[in-house]
Amino acid sequence: MRLKFKWIFTLLMLALSMQFSFAQEKNIKGVVTDDSGPIPGVNVVVKGTKVSTQTDFNGVYSIQAKAGDVLVFSFMGMNDSAVTVGASNSVNAKLTSASQSLDEVVVVAYGKQKTKSIVGSVATVGKDILEKQQATNVLTAIQGSVAGVNIISAGGQPGESPTIRIRGIGSISSSAEPLIILDGAPFSGNINSISADQIESMSVLKDASSTALYGSRGANGVIIITTKRGKFNTPTTVHLNSVVGVGSNAVKLHKLLSTDRLTELSWEAVRNVNQYGRGQAPALAGQNASNSLVSALGYNPYKATVPVDANGKLVTTDKYWDTDWEKALINNSAIRKENSIAISGGGENAAFSFSANNLNQEGALVNSNFKRTSVRISADTKINESLTAGLSVGYTTSTQNFPTQSGNSYQSPIQWIYNVSSIYPLYQHDDQGNEMFDNLGRKIYDYGAGDGDLNAVRPMMGNENALGALYNYTVRNNRDDITINGYAGYKITKDLSFKTTIGYQRYMLDNFNYSSSLYGNAAGVNGRITQNRDITTSINITNVLSYKKQFGNHTIGIDGIQEAYKFKLDRMYAQGEGFLPGVEVNDGATNPTGVGGTVTEERLNSYLGRATYNYANRYFLEGSYRTDGSSRFARDSRWGNFFSVGGAWSIKDESFLVDSKVISTLKLKGSYGELGNNRALNADGTDSYFPYQQLYNLGWSEMDYPGVSLGAPADKKLTWEKTASSNIGIELGFFNDRFKAGADWYQKKSIDLIYAIPVAGSTGNTTYLTNAGSLKNYGLEVYLSSVNVKNTNFTWTTDLNFSFDRNEVTSLTQDYIINGSKRWEVGKSIYDFWIQEWAGVDSATGKGQWYKDGVDTNGNRNTTFNYSEASRNYVGKSSLPDVVGGLSNYFKYKNFDMNILFNFSYGAYVYDSSYASLMTGLKDPGRPGSADLENRWQQPGDITDVPRLYQSTQDYASQSTRFLFKNNYIRLKALNIGYNFPKDVMNSIGVNNIRIYLQGDNLLTFQSHKGIDPEQSFAGTTNSRTYNQRLASLGFSIDF
Amino acid sequence: MKNIVRNITAALVSVICLGSCSQEFLDEVKPTTGVPVESIYESRTTAEGAMAGILRRFRGQFENAAGVASTDVGGLNSMFYARSLKGNDVISSNNWYGSDYENNNREPTYRRTTFTWDYPFFMINQVNNFIKQVKASTKIVEDDKNELLGQGYALRAFFYHQLVLEFSKSYNEDQNYPAPPIYKEPTVVPKGMSTVKEVYDFMVEDLTTAIPLLSEDRLGKSFVNKEVANAILAQVYQVMGKWDLAEAAAIEAYGGNVTSVLDAGGYGSGFKDNASVEWLWGSPQRPDQSNYYYLAPHAFSDHRSPGYYSAYVNSTFVSLFSATDVRGGVGPTKLFNKKSATLPSTDYRYYVSNKFSFTFSSHSPIIRYAEMILIDAEAKARQGNNGGAKTVLFALQKNRDANAVQSSNTGQALIDEILVERRKELFLENGIEWFDAKRLGKGMPRDGNQRLKGPNAGVTYDLQAHDLRFMLKVPQSEIDANPFIDNTVNNGK
């Protein structure tokens, strides 16, 4: 590599030195202006030299140059301008504002709008941001770049979609995810089928005026993804990009006790039970603990029959094995490779683009991966003066090895690490401790369900081995996703046009599960294959009639839109048992054990309209209306009406400010609207397509008799959730928008929440889905951007955005609702923890204590040793952060550039149940312990916060504030350092640009609570999820 | 201009057409994962589909309100197995059900507590819907209705019996003790606690209503017929101490001919097939309808097939059997075996049970005829009919052990012998020790090579007579969601 650099630099120097010689130098003079007149202090440089000057107070400059030289004019907040010196001695330049606010166009609902005319709140993530991250799932790129969007990434499986909440959480039981629109049609596949380099922009629509046209699906915000297309009248360009990197866990796991210490402390946990619980004398208690230790563990890694003596000391540290499950299961050298090509261009009447992307990424677990190939083609034509048509076709195929990523199944690797200690071997050992081999001489994974009384039966996770599960089982997802979007536009008159758009998507998910015929949970039936094949087809048709007319200072626009949406989910599954080893297809089944399938449809029919008006580009008004009929609700309650109104006032354009040199933008805007949400969910988070019907569910047959089981009760009158959303915003710019700032205040009141209200279990159901309760989300979003330095050689810009989001229950159908670790009542947030309060360790007995209601005679709060007496209270802590945001800095020095993006969250709390499971006081034999158990209570008088070790049923680690931790963090989300080879050199070899870059994602994480990834869940709970990956990559791109 | 008019017309026509079609467009889609409630009750056959679905829920994973299912809380068999572990005859390693073995698994937030409450109530609600819809059906003829309703009433009583046993003091201890709420109709509106007496009265009413409606026919061994309803009634009367009624119901259930419902030769074949003549009522399984590793006690007590290997047998219990008893003996082909050759006899892992054979299609027994025979014997003895009791008892003993000798006991000694016989006969099946101790107000002392016995943190591992730990506390989730039940319901528990 270094050699190559040297070579390139030599070439570079040669090229530079050759430029000298020829031509006569002369004195060039001129005036530099912008729209409002001459600009003082503009940098003028003769390109490729050190010759430079600045304009004076009148915008006048003079400089020595010769014909053919290029003069570069640059000024902060303005676009650079380059002018070639000709015969004349006078060169004037006119700079344009770098602020794109004037003419920049943003993708909005059913169309595009100029930034200036936007009355609502829309943020855009452009390709400039996407290019500087390795967003295997494009939605992750929104994190830290858009104010008011809270994102929690999905863990260590590449490509999984993050959880996204735009402006707080307005839904409880129904989906609070934003609606995703791809090229005009609702996207119904897996978003990981879209590769980031094929995207032109993502618009995040936040307020009512921007989302109202999505009516019944707009309440939780909308993300519009627009793919790249060719542009008319542009030369064909080719872009190649290649990036290779390596990934590891972004943060460290909880620190565990070593095998030796765990063994000794396990002895202590048993001894304590014998001594304090069973009343044995200390010496006898110790002796009995020594004797029973191995039988409780089931395994003995030590080369001594009784490894711990009666005083709790190991008699030997010599071991047959010492397992590091983390090392075995986690891939800390995961390779990521991505290659892409994009070709685009256009002539007078046709434009095209083609792109292809190939990705191969290993995940956080040793054999998890994601491989994706996607191709996208678009074509746009002007058939004649009034008729245009276009088509874009995307095809993506992907496969992923997707071992269990979270949860409490035996195959969940993180849970395994936190529940199976290093005392248990990876491979089978006999009762003498010797390693065992199969008939081919290979090691055999230890499944903990062997024959015998020692080193055979694990007391937890029996008949499973986490590493064996990764290699002996297969969980594979194959996906094929085709999207076709076509449009035809017809200009009926100069002002009236009609456009029809059809979006078609066919998405197939092939989920294949194989459990080994030899080992593990299906070995008893010689293996099992379950294969699910889900085919999702959706068609969306939109007809738009647009009228636009300008007369004088008045501009009006009216859109009438009709839309129909059809969605079909065709599910089929087959299951078989009894396979020969090595046979992993259902054809090999000796016993077909299951088959199933359903076809579910959903439909939506809608009429929409939008009217816009502006006066002199100074006053803007906009109104939209949508009526929706959804098949998710009963006939009488399925139609809903949604609307919004909004306005903006560009104060800058008033006569008293129009000439201001200081203020370049000043705009006030406001909007109000009412939106809906129809996306009711089942308890498992899947879509509920007929939530208003109580059904007898199929699939509960009793032997040969077909059986049905009554599902949860439903409200026949169930209807939309409605959200009333208000937004007030200000946009500010100074010095030609060199400094920009903006703020939006919003309030979203959601009523008639589709909510599965908890009902008493004695009624036979634990939930009842109905419209109940209301919520308020409100907050403030702020962004600041600044061009700190900008001259020919050096540029430095800073962008900061942050938001304060609050959530409040405003009404309920009952006094309060208890939901896990939260209690919802009017005036509180749904994210305020309401749990038992830990009162520390009693120094006399070492037992844990909790607070209970009331005070004693000294006014101190009552405490109890009995967990069931502990009272639950609001503990003044919320899982919702006080503030989240992002900070990015961009530096460019000559041909080097660097982009640094941090995202941060402050003020949230997380309940770490993984840590709790490590701090039980070794309640269950053989489970690992946190290194923090070293601080345990050991004898009366000890002052500590870690209770005594006690291997018996106890509640020291039951839910309480003991495991509620502050969860502040700052993450270096993306770092991109690049070098662009000099253009002139590249041009000479027929290349537009060559760039090499280093790209790092999640390189650094500073967090207040260590051991888990700070991004867990909005509810502030943990779920043994795999850890997010840190990626460090080297990339190369070339443009022809 | 012509073009313009044409285009606008075309656009308008298409919009209008789409509009007028829209109601049908939306009406066309129907749910396919389930069937509307009313259409299930249009014939006896479809109504039996609802009954089949209820019986299927006797086994299988049961999700809590948060959608989480756990290995030790699924189906009726998990309730039975948790009871088995509380006594003296079974020993558990520290594995699933470990806290049940410690007699500690009863706090309001524990999943045992929540499950043992929610699951029977789930079944009761399914049955209540069934009863309501069958009654309301205009398509099912009267005779068919009666047979369906009979099954419903019997099942409702069965699950109320499980609830009252788990959450209240025994009938003989305190009939006015608070008991789980009584629901006779499906509803989402909760009710307050009832009393033990009210629940027993309700069960007796349900069962005595059911029996005349039912016939001896049924679709399979997991369905309820007249015999099953009588068996449930016999258990209820046994707890109530109504011995004449218990005797009559038990005889109705097993037919009065002891040997015709016993098959000593099949006792050792693994308790995995409800086709056995000994089984009155049992849940079947097959590979595509399997409970997998949730199946208790099979997956936990069978040490010959990969499972949890967590259940062991108390040596004092093993020694109760004679060498020729088909239910006893030690060896690979006998009903007990040694775990390994090396463990000392004092180790809790010394003996394992071969009674239940674990596969994904093993069946689980709910009621076997032998239990009815022993209720008959006990009822006779309690009424002073020592001779009759001995005859019935000996008929069973003789079937199990060719060398059995008829008992010379009378009175309490005879009753005690019958109680021991119940443990020997029904070992690991339905928590028989716990059931007897609970109804009779006795303790369950632990001895032999028990892993946990003696004192434990101020109490003991074993249960004393009338021990509060015979009861579970009312789950916090119920208290939280039921305005008629507050925290005081657990006072003194």
Instruction: Convert the pLDDT of each residue in A66-103 to its tens digit.
Output: 888 888 888 766 777 888 888 888 888 888 766 544 46
Which two structure tokens, joined as six digits, stand for B349? 């892992």
Give the span between the Cα atoms of A429 and A445, in whole angstroms.
Answer: 9
Q: A958 touching B, CB under 8 A? A: yes
> Average pLDDT for residues B153-157, to the nearest whole number?
98
Give the span between the Cα atoms of A687 and A173, in whole angstroms.
Answer: 11
Q: B94 touching A, CB under 8 A? A: yes
- Domains of chain B: total: 1
Range with lowest mean pLDDT among A382-391, A635-644, A810-819, B420-429:
A810-819
> Measured at the alpha carbon of residue A512, what is the angle toward residues A507 and A516, in degrees to the nearest 5?
175
| CB < 8 Å to A848, chain B | none
The helix/strand/coil state of B202 is helix
Query: Which A residues 875-934 touch B at CB under 8 Å?
Result: 924-925
Residue B458 lies in a domain: yes
pLDDT for the residue A877:
96
pLDDT for the residue B118:
97
Instruction: Provide the mean pLDDT of chain A.
Output: 91
> What is the dihedral sign for C-alpha B333, B335, B339, B344?
negative
Contact A525, A494 (CB under 8 A): no
Q: What is the predicted ipTM? A: 0.92
pLDDT for the residue B64:
84
Q: A864 touching B, CB under 8 A? A: no
H runs (alpha helix) in A80-218 = 127-130, 208-211
Q: A517 touching B, CB under 8 A? A: no
| CB < 8 Å to B126, chain A | 709-710, 764
Residue A608 pLDDT exceeds 80? yes
Give the span between the Cα atoms of A167 and B472, in whole angstroms.
Answer: 44
Angle between helices B411-426 and B369-382 (to 10 degrees): 170
Q: In what order do the strands lie in the sheet with A848-855?
A: A838-841, A848-855, A861-864
Residue A293: closest CA among A320, A312, A318: A312
Contacts with A1001 (C-beta within 8 Å, 6 or more apart), sequence order:
A133, A134, A973, A974, A975, A1029, A1030, A1031
Residue A719 CB coordination number (10 Å): 23
Query: Which A residues 678-697 touch B at CB under 8 Å?
Result: 683-684, 689-690, 693-697
Buried b (16+ CB within 10 A) or exposed e, A177-191: bbbbbbbbbbbbbbb
pLDDT for the residue A849:
96
Range of the domain at B444: 38-255+431-490
Residue A946: closest CA among A928, A923, A919: A919
pLDDT digits (tens, 9 = 90+) for A192-235: 999 999 999 999 999 998 999 998 888 999 999 999 999 999 88
B190/A760 CB distance under 8 A: yes
Residue B152 lies in a domain: yes
Q: B281 touching A, CB under 8 A? A: no
pLDDT for the residue B20:
46
pLDDT for the residue B172:
95
| Residue B297, preceding peptide bond in cis (omega within 30° of 0) | yes
Q: B248 touching A, CB under 8 A? A: no
- Class at the top of the CATH hierarchy for domain A25-94: mainly beta
Residue B310 lies in a domain: no
Question: Burial level of A531, CB count in 10 A (0-12/13-18/19+)?
Answer: middle
Contact A499, A486 (CB under 8 A): no
Going from N- to C-terminal start, the domains of chain A cover 25-94
Give the span between the Cα atoms of B318 and B316, in whole angstroms.
Answer: 6
A765/B188 CB distance under 8 A: yes
pLDDT band at A330 (very low <50, low <70, confident <90, very high): very high
Residue B407 lies in a domain: no
H or E element, residue A201: strand A199-205
pLDDT digits (tens, 9 = 90+) for A820-852: 899 999 999 999 999 999 999 999 999 999 999
> Average pLDDT for residues A635-641, to the nearest whole number?
90
pLDDT for the residue A728:
96
Give the span between the Cα atoms of B455 and B112, in whole angstroms.
Answer: 23
Compute the CA torsion angle A860, A861, A862, A865 (nearest 10 deg): -110
> Measured at the alpha carbon of residue A771, what is the angle toward residues A567 and A599, in degrees to the nearest 5?
25
Which two structure tokens, joined as six digits, stand for A269? 């946990």
Range with lowest mean pLDDT among A699-708, B51-60, B61-70:
B61-70
Contact A256, A918 (CB under 8 A): yes
Give the span between the Cα atoms of A25 and A125, in whole angstroms.
Answer: 46
Q: φ, ψ for residue B132 (rounded to 5)?
A: -60, -45
pLDDT band at A25 (very low <50, low <70, confident <90, very high): confident
Q: φ, ψ for residue A568 (rounded to 5)?
A: -135, 130
pLDDT for the residue A820:
85
- The CB-side HSE value for A897 (13 A sphere, CA atoms) comes to 17
Give the span between the Cα atoms of A292 and A48, in whole angstroms.
Answer: 82
Closest residue of chain A to B55, computed from CA coordinates? A702
* Most confident of the ranges A17-26, A396-405, A442-451, A684-693: A396-405
Contacts with A640 (C-beta within 8 Å, 6 or more apart), sequence order:
A215, A216, A627, A628, A630, A676, A678, A719, A720, A722
pLDDT band at B21 (very low <50, low <70, confident <90, very high): low
Residue B279 lies in a domain: no
* Most confident of the ranges A77-81, A752-756, B313-317: B313-317
Q: φ, ψ for residue A145 (rounded to 5)?
A: -110, -15
| CB < 8 Å to B26, chain A | 603, 605, 629-631, 635, 638
Phi-psi region of A991 (alpha: psi -120 to 50; beta: other; left: phi over 0): beta
CA-based radius of gyration for chain A:
33
Contact A948, A917 (CB under 8 A): no
How many residue pairs from chains A and B have C-beta atoms closer than 8 A?
A: 283
B343/A713 CB distance under 8 A: no
| CB < 8 Å to A690, chain B | 30-31
Q: B492 touching A, CB under 8 A? A: no
pLDDT for the residue A76:
67
| CB < 8 Å to B453, chain A | none
Residues constituting chain B: 493
| CB < 8 Å to B37, chain A | 694-696, 710
DSSP classification of residue A409: S
Which two structure tokens, joined as six digits, stand for A480? 């094929």
Residue A3 pLDDT exceeds 60? no
pLDDT for the residue B367:
98
| From A279, A449, A598, residue closest to B32, measured CB to CB | A598
| From A600, A766, A953, residue closest to B65, measured CB to CB | A766
pLDDT band at B341 (very low <50, low <70, confident <90, very high): confident
CATH assignment at residue B237: 1.25.40.390
CA-to-CA separations, B479 to A852, A886, B68, B109, B311, in angstroms, rounded: 17, 44, 20, 11, 34
| CB < 8 Å to B349, chain A | 295, 453
| CB < 8 Å to A421, chain B | none
